[in-house]
Amino acid sequence: MCGLAGYGLSDRAGSVDRVLLQRMTAAIVHRGPDSDGHHVRGPLGIGFRRLSIIDLAGGTQPLFDESGAIAVTCNGEIYNYRELRAGLEARGHRFRTGSDVETIVHLYEEHGARAVEHLVGMFAFALLDSRCDPPKLLLGRDRLGIKPVYYARTERGLAYASEPKAILALDWLPRRLRAHALVDYLVQGYSGGEHSAWGGIRRLPPGHVLEWQPGGEPVLTRYWDLPTDAQRGPADSAEIRDWLDRVVREHLIADVPLGAFLSGGIDSSAVVTSMAAALSTPVVACSVGFDEASHDELVTARETARILGAQHHTEVLRADPTLALDTLPWFFDEPLADPSTVPTYLVSRMARAHVTVALSGDGGDEVFAGYRRYVHDWAENRLRARIGRAGRALSGVLGRHYPKLDWAPRPLRGRTFLTNLADDPAHAYFRSVSQLELADARALLGPAAREAGAGHDPFVAFAEHHARPRGVDALYRAQYADFHTYLPDQILAKTDRASMAVSLELRPPLLDHRFVERFAPLPAREKVRGARGKHALREALRGRVRDAVLDGVKRGFDTPLDRWIAGPLAASVEQALRALPADWIDTRRARQLFDEHRAGRRNHARALWSLLVLERWRARHGVEDALA
């Protein structure tokens, strides 16, 4: 796990300034505290920060081909590097190190940009090919978007990095928030897609490569996607177990202490159980509990660890919201309104005291439809089909007149359900992954943001993803959309930044692309039964994982936002509402939400938390008031 940064000049006769290159890598030292490396060829330069995981002595990057003309840096791990290396050596390639990353440069010699198709792992890499005139830059990102790559194209040239702060260290761009990103952020809680929150900075999408030469324009090519033409046939329990054991075993490659996150949930329990079977020594399992008993799974995790004979490290923590306001904005670079950034950071910090690499259960909910919203979406689609057009019209009328009972118990909050029945499946599901309706978000915008963001609707991009699969059920379309939006831009962004903030490599074996290809497109009946998701996975784990885990109530890293906003964070919200630029936010409207929340009339916790995080991000990164 490491950090990438580099840049190239539009002037083909120019030369990269090593001091500037070093400034870029210094900005992301937390991603790679062990060493750095830089390589310059005229108008192109690549830089690197290393967290040593494999071949500690010889794996310092950049790494080169036999001639020294091709150099590569890579953030992440290539799990099939041993098989790749054996084949490459048989074809005459000579390796200088034992690093997994060196396979990339030799594959590139044979396959060019299509070398990425041979890699199994989580990765973001930058390759400099000086055999070309001018030299060529190739950027690649793994299929699911586990590792990040950002880039910016300006008149001066092209810059890239694992985090925007390294690009901004060049001072090529004004530090401005994109108006469209502000709309996305208020609606979704994050800014997703190809455009980052920063004006002029883009994300390389998952499953893509980018090629660029000085004097030209970047060319993006998609090399992978989830199946879109048909769903897969059923999978028996033995197949799921075999694949689970395989991907976990392949993720255990490391020359440093390795462990796992262990909660009381199905996914992490499944991963740790497979680890225990694969390792000859006890699994190092790291678990945390929280003061809020509603989502404390420590008792369940302890029992799982005891049964498996794990070396179990535990800690009871307080989910301190000030971390998200004072510490995390620097590491996250973009505003992210997910309050679970706090416990994710705390778990990572605790684990880093014991291991350098940790496996997680991330991805299980997306692959096997484990989120409650998938179950609700599945039920709504079945009911929508039964009630017909007349029933949907009646639901729409009832939904418009049903009171919005934010503070009421969930069974009494029927407005969203009725509204969803009247809507099309894409809109209905998008509502379940949004924190604000578009109209409510626009009402919060200041005049400049409202004008610049006029006509922009984040649903448009989501709908394109939702519609892409053909001949499949609506549940898989929802999963497919999540794999292209929510997963890379919120969940994986959160886990990457929170773990990298403490120099911890976090590996999600359930997001191995082969595992995802096989099981995410299972028919809905294989994933949802009754009122629960993950049916196929639960049944595959019977006898391996305790029934108390498989049949327990799902708990996440939820946080008591409503109490935080009305109580200990009230003064911080007051300050944020005063400090946010008037061009961004209509502070009068925001103040109204705050007053309603404190009085208990409406629950506006998510919107107010979003504004609070937004202001702390703005202050920490010196963002200008003017919008991009």
As annotated, the active-site residues are 2
Pairwise CA distance, residues 380 & 249, whole Å: 38
Cβ 275 vs Cβ 359: under 8 Å? yes
* H/E segment holding residue 482: helix 474-484
Tally Cβ neighbours within 10 Å of residue 447: 11
**Bond into 206 cis (ω within 30):** no
> Which residue is listed with tokens 């993950």?
534
Pairwise CA distance, residues 18 & 411, whole Å: 61
Nearest to 612 by CA among 567, 565, 566, 568: 565
Phi, psi of 120 (to 5 degrees): -115, 120
Cβ 223 vs Cβ 230: under 8 Å? no
**Region of residue 282 (left: phi > 0; alpha: psi -120 to 50; beta: else):** beta
* 388: helix, strand or coil: helix
Which residue blocks in 99-236 are alpha helix, DSSP H? 102-111, 164-168, 179-188
Distances (CA, A) of 68 to 72, 108, 128: 10, 13, 10
Nearest to 234 by CA among 616, 608, 617, 521: 521
* H/E segment holding residue 4: strand 2-9
> Which residue is listed with tokens 């998008």?
430
**Bond into 62 cis (ω within 30):** yes
Which residue blocks in 33-143 are alpha helix, DSSP H? 81-90, 102-111
> Which residue is listed with tokens 């939904």?
399
Distances (CA, A) of 56 to 94, 100, 118: 19, 11, 24
CA max distance for the chain = 73
Pairwise CA distance, residues 445 & 582, whole Å: 9
Tally Cβ neighbours within 10 Å of residue 234: 11
Strand-strand pairing, 284-290 and 258-261: parallel
* H/E segment holding residue 288: strand 284-290
**Region of residue 55 (left: phi > 0; alpha: psi -120 to 50; beta: else):** left
Nearest to 499 by CA among 363, 621, 360: 360
Structure tokens belonging to residue 332: 């996250």
Nearest to 477 by CA among 538, 524, 515, 418: 524
